[in-house]
Structure 1
Amino acid sequence: MAISHREENFVVIELGSYATKATIDTTDINRLPTAVIRTRAGILKQDVGALPVSSDPEIVEKQNGTHINVVSDEGEAPDANVKAEEVGEEDIDTNGEQDGSELSYIFGGALEAAEEDTVSHTVDIISGGFVRDWDAMSAFLRHVITKELGVRISSNISPILFSVPPLWPKTDLESLTQIAFEDLNAPSILIVEQPLLAMYGNNAATGLVVDFGHTTTTVTAILDSSIQWSCIAQSEIAGAAVTERLHQLLKEDAALCAEFGNDGVPMEFAVALKESGLCKIQLLSADDDDDSDDGKDSEGQPELLFQGKKYKVKADALDKAARILITPDDGKNVGIASLMKQVVLGCETEKRAGLWESIHVVGGSSRFGGLKDCLQLELERSVLPSSNIYANSQSREIKFGSLPDYFAGWRGRDYLAGFLGACIVAKIALNDSKHNISRSEYNDSGPSVVHTKSFF
């Protein structure tokens, strides 16, 4: 007989290249994610990371009143108190081996606050849509579960829904399944692809999902709740590329460089500027000239407060940096409209019009002002027929999906449609044995059981 779990114990984790979002308790899905943490791990230097780790999950004796969480070899996460004044009052997870010694990881606020001489290096756990370090991923997920969501691993009664990028290979899905049951002690899990969840969040079953992420932009076609695996395309032009382009444009601004002095414009300034909301894409008419704004005077220029000082930047640079998401200027990558056409043309002819009339733009890098309007203009120019004579397979208009109005708590946050969809699916599927993977099924079949269960 299937075990029934309470919705207040349901956990949803969306794994992203830049940030991972998580929540516990799906009773009220009008709530935003309770935890948003950078998907990055800091590896402590060996002299700092030599923490007492025991195979027996015991409480380590208090030393100096500084609390640090130490994970045992079995993946247990007992409370521990050890001396680590250099790191601060944050959790350290240990996992993996390097030259025969345990690695010590720190995440989130602890990593941001750590002194440079205490951290050996940092690891972007997910890059290009794929996991680059599974030991770091295991420690990261334990941190999210125990410290961000407050779940005790030794007595875990929280089923977990994982939202993952669509192109993960089978081996990666098996590795995540193994971590969930062996390191997180989950009673049951479900793994669902992010484009499908974004569709559900927007109350749709057929459409084109454009996910503007941190390191990749992914376009996925979905027909009747089924991902068209042969119709997925990716581009490297994403949020990180916008930051790099903006930094390049800022370094070409002589007046701004003079304000920063000999060191030049730091990358941190470009990051702060991109995240400030000042980067917007201006709609250009056919008669507009991209270079016509280069000579703008300083009056009306955007300002950013950075490290206690206000800096003026050219609006033209802000526009050009964000615009590469629509029309890359490197000559190597195709524009997003061409990428979407490539995906749609891979689908059945009679289904193509429905895809153009149900476009769902999600992802953290989709929040640039004017991006959706600019994308619609590009698609109308390149997709819609120039005459009033339509073939049956041709689209008559370009339509974008959005979050339903009855989700008041998510209003104005279309970029989070995937996480809302994950919460909805969690309520439906985490107690349904037809969809979720139970511990007993994992014990019988091993990690490969993940390929036998899905939610459609």
Structure 2
Amino acid sequence: MNVREARTVMVLTGSHTITAGYGIHEIFRRPSVTLTARVGLPRSKADTLMPASASASASTSASHPPDYTQYLVGAALDEAERKGQDLAIFWPMRHGVIRDWQQMIALWSHVLFALLPVKRSANDSYILLSLPAPISRDTHTLLAQVFFQHFNAPALCIVEKPLLAAYGVGTMNATVVDLGWEGCDVTPVFECQVQHNANVKSAVGARHCTLFLAHLLRRDQSIVSALTALLRYKRKSNTSSSSAASTAQGAQGSGGGADDDEDAQLQDALVALARQLVEDGHVLDEDAVRSGASGLTAAGGDGGDDDDGNFDIAAALVEGRDKKTRAAMDEEEERRRAALEAAHADDGLDEAVIASITGDEGQAGASTDEKAVLVQFRGLKLKVGPERFRFLEPLFRPELLEGVRGADEVALGDEPFGAGPFPDFGVARGGRFDGFVAPLAWPDWSRVASLPSCIAQSIASIDELDRRVTLWENLILHGSPAKIKTIQIETISALSDHVASAGTETGQVMGEPNPLQPRNVRALRVPDYFSEFKDRTDLAGFLGATVYAKLVFGDLQAKSYITKQNYNEMGPNAAYSVRPTT
């Protein structure tokens, strides 16, 4: 590892999460930074800086959007929320499109200069930046301006996420499925070229799956009763600790809205419980994994033998070290989870009251199913039944989202200002930057295409018929939901209708199989010799970013990245002079 590799920065930017890492080590490491891609601003300041109407007069548009230094990001935003401050929350990227550059600069600046050991004044870190496909030419230009002029980067490489996922599993040809928060992106990669014409977006993502799981949990009256009792106890405690005047004023203004507020708090608790079940891995059915794991394979072979039956020396050498590494990582994740629970624990809860709501065996009337699991949530011990295994169903059956609370909501937080990266960018449209894209309304869930249908549609968009067979056999599912191994198994099973079976081949004319007809669907995974990434296909993109950065930045001729010298000579157009590494 040379000095340049030790200071290389990889930043993978998504609509919901930003992951980053510092340094390319001998044993590739997992990302050291994970940040939710949202920013905040005090409500009073947000209201004064921007008129509510986008069609405001020219006189009101003189109030420019806030500078990136004014936003709350990361821990500061979480702390402000915990204190109950009235905040405007913004998501600057939606569906892979940057809607407010100042807010994105606030996120990237926090990652580079607050969470990573990078100094703006003496920035010597080569930066690899990844965004969802496709990245427009205008976006390339603005990215170059931001990172060279705002962040003082010595070199920048801009890559689309599907290509990095292919590098992560070690293949040049694949159908990459990015399982996102608001939706899924399906993009084929052939000969290391991202096929933009075949990009297909699904309207169902992890957010909808979480809401669906909360919808199922609401059907369990024992869980609802326990959470309702906890919420009423907390409200009673808060009311008793407040002043008599505040109590009287709240009683006069509450009226019939008290029931609505209680139901909203219950919904928030159910969603929080659903997210905890996902984060703790309780939505994975181990029996289903054991019975259907034959559909999963690594790009370079499976297990300790290769395709010819020869022993894989690399896998054998890493096996002993891998067990210790995974044990250490599991211990670290458990320690972090315990610290997170302690940080978010409710203060002032009476243990006797908590014990009266749930006992050591869970809540009263809990599920008696043998697959029910006991979880600790906000001091309560709740037993959740096998309905937790249905978390992924909306991806395959979007019609299940009909009637699910929150699934039809289009807006996430407040609408961004649409500000450009520099103060001199135009605000002719009532303060809106020209690149602003309004969010799309959700369609009828009964007509939304499922994830398997999107995959089939994407592959069918490839004109060359001989390429389609390869794309069917190299399927990559990455993103946070890919941690749930059953999604790969269920996807393979759902796609079986698109491949030929033995019966269909024998029924063909002359009994000769069609070479252009796919016969197999495989989901690739990360090779085992990447010890820290074993069984973590969800991190295939970051692993691919590390591999790609090592290859690209090792080229002293800078064929695939932009240097500051190139930028000073050519300006933002230098972003168009590079080509992807193959």
Report the TM-score when normalising by structure 1: 0.80
Query: What is the deviation of 1:175?
Result: 1.9
Conservation of the 8 A alpha-carbon contact between 2:12 and 2:19: yes
Instruction: Select the residue among 206, 211, 224 that pairs with 1:239.
Output: 206
**Distance of 2:39 and 2:476 partners within structure 1:** 31
Instruction: Select the residue among 187, 195, 206 that pairs with 2:154.
Output: 187
Paired residues in the alignment total 395
**Distance of 1:405 and 1:208 partners within structure 2:** 21
Closer, same or farther: CA 280–143 of 1 in aligned 2, 3 Å: same
Aligned to 1:319: 389
Aligned to 2:343: none
SS of residue in 2 equivalent to 1:435: coil
SS of residue in 1 equivalent to 2:196: strand
Aligned to 2:142: 175
Conservation of the 8 A alpha-carbon contact between 1:208 and 1:360: yes
Instruction: Select the residue among 273, 280, 286 that pairs with 2:284.
Output: 280
What is the identity, as a one-letter code, of the residue corresponding to 1:107? V
Aligned to 2:571: 446
Aligned to 1:421: 544
1:268 to 2:234 alignment: no
Structure 1: runs of 5+ lacking an equivalent = 49-96, 286-295
Aligned to 1:292: none
Instruction: Select the residue among 447, 452, 465 that pairs with 1:332.
Output: 447
Aligned to 1:377: 493
Matches within 5 A, 1:424-435: 424-432=547-555, 433-435=558-560
1:202 to 2:169 alignment: yes
What is the identity, as a one-letter code, of the residue corresponding to 2:210? T
What is the identity, as a one-letter code, of the residue corresponding to 2:280? S
**Distance of 1:333 and 1:420 partners within structure 2:** 32
Closer, same or farther: CA 20–100 of 1 in aligned 2, 3 Å: closer
Point out the structure with the larger strand share: 1
Aligned to 1:307: 378
Query: What is the deviation of 1:356?
Result: 1.0
Point out the structure with the larger helix share: 2
Query: What is the deviation of 1:117?
Result: 4.5
Closer, same or farther: CA 110–440 of 1 in aligned 2, 3 Å: same
What is the identity, as a one-letter code, of the residue corresponding to 1:388? E
Matches within 5 A, 1:48-447: 102=67, 104-114=70-80, 115-118=82-85, 120-261=87-228, 263=263, 264-265=266-267, 266=269, 267-280=271-284, 297-300=367-370, 301-316=372-387, 318-329=388-399, 330-347=445-462, 348-385=464-501, 386-389=503-506, 390-432=513-555, 433-447=558-572
1:48-78 Cα shifts (integer Å, max 9, x gaps): 9xxxxxxxxxxxxxxxxxxxxxxxxxxxxxx
Query: What is the deviation of 1:376?
Result: 1.1
* Structure whose CA Rg is larger: 2
Instruction: Select the residue among 12, 24, 29 that pairs with 1:14.
Output: 12
What is the identity, as a one-letter code, of the residue corresponding to 1:346? S
What is the identity, as a one-letter code, of the residue corresponding to 2:281? G
Query: What is the deviation of 1:162?
Result: 0.4
Structure 2: runs of 5+ lacking an equivalent = 47-61, 229-261, 292-365, 400-444, 507-512
Closer, same or farther: CA 454–310 of 1 in aligned 2, 3 Å: farther
1:18-58 Cα shifts (integer Å, max 9, x gaps): 2211111113352111211111112245689xxxxxxxxxx
What is the identity, as a one-letter code, of the residue corresponding to 1:367? K
**Distance of 2:158 and 2:367 partners within structure 1:** 53
Closer, same or farther: CA 278–166 of 1 in aligned 2, 3 Å: same
Query: What is the deviation of 1:99?
Result: 5.4
Query: What is the deviation of 1:212?
Result: 0.7
Q: Percent identity?
A: 27
Identify the structure with bigger relative contact order (alpha carbons < 8 Å, sequence gap 6+): 2
**Distance of 1:239 and 1:436 partners within structure 2:** 33
SS of residue in 2 equivalent to 1:161: strand
What is the identity, as a one-letter code, of the residue corresponding to 1:122? I
SS of residue in 2 equivalent to 1:387: helix
